[in-house]
Amino acid sequence: MSTSITIAVFEPNPVYLLIRGGFRIFFRLFGSWRITGHENIPESGPVIIISNHVSYLDPPLMGSAVKRPVAYMAKRELFTQSRALAWVCRKLEAYPVRQGMADREALRQTYDRLNKGWMVGIFPEGHRSDSGDLQEFQPGMAVIALKSRAPVVPCGFCGTHEMLPPHAKIIHRSHIEVQFGPPLDLSDLYDAEDRKAAVVEATTRAHAAVSALVASSVSARESTRRKSL
């Protein structure tokens, strides 16, 4: 992949804007939320945002919490369950990925979006955590980051697991914390001769950054809860 980037303005469609606006209202009113670290997100150019994944609410939360539109990988099953759901996913700038395997087409679409200067959201765990604890990261995110050389902004969520736990059908009120950290410095790994070792190291750094932000979000949420008592 060429490292040259053709900057294109990501103009979201009206459906994307409408749904994002609805979720912003929802998170503010139904659960209340606090977002910190916006200054760590580049205002233009390609960006990869990575975070923990504990609820179906995480993708819309990520998209609602940032000012720029976000494109996502989404599990392939969401595009095959019904035409209506597939239509909504595509309007939300999601594109399918096969979980548990190397999906060349999903990687191609990710590189294509980054080459256009878009922001891409990735959940490196590869699936939701039923326990709410941060799981090991899959190496795909690191491969994409090192090949594209796009800035990687770590993020930590807290509160969506309580608002909509895995397999739950009822949404509960819950304060949500969202924290964005400084972009990871992976520049020393871009031209590493041992590519496998570079991917492992990039994955380790990414996991540590997200883990720290999740812990900080949990602490901030608990502090908010105590103050409300």
User: Using CA atoms in the order 94, 148, 198, 211, what is the torsion angle rounded to 10 degrees?
Assistant: -40
Class of domain 32-73+102-228: alpha beta
Question: Which tens digits make up the pLDDT trace of 151-208?
Answer: 999 999 999 999 998 888 899 999 999 999 999 999 999 999 999 999 999 999 999 9
Q: What is the pLDDT of residues 59-79, one digit of tens each?
A: 999 999 998 999 988 888 889
DSSP state, 189?
G
Predicted TM-score (pTM) above 0.95: no
187 strand-pairing partners: none
Place of tokens 């871009």: 190
Q: Domain residue spans in the chain?
A: 32-73+102-228
Contacts of 208 (CB under 8 A, 6+ apart): none
Residue 180 burial by Cβ neighbours in a 10 Å radius (0-12, 13-18, 19+): buried
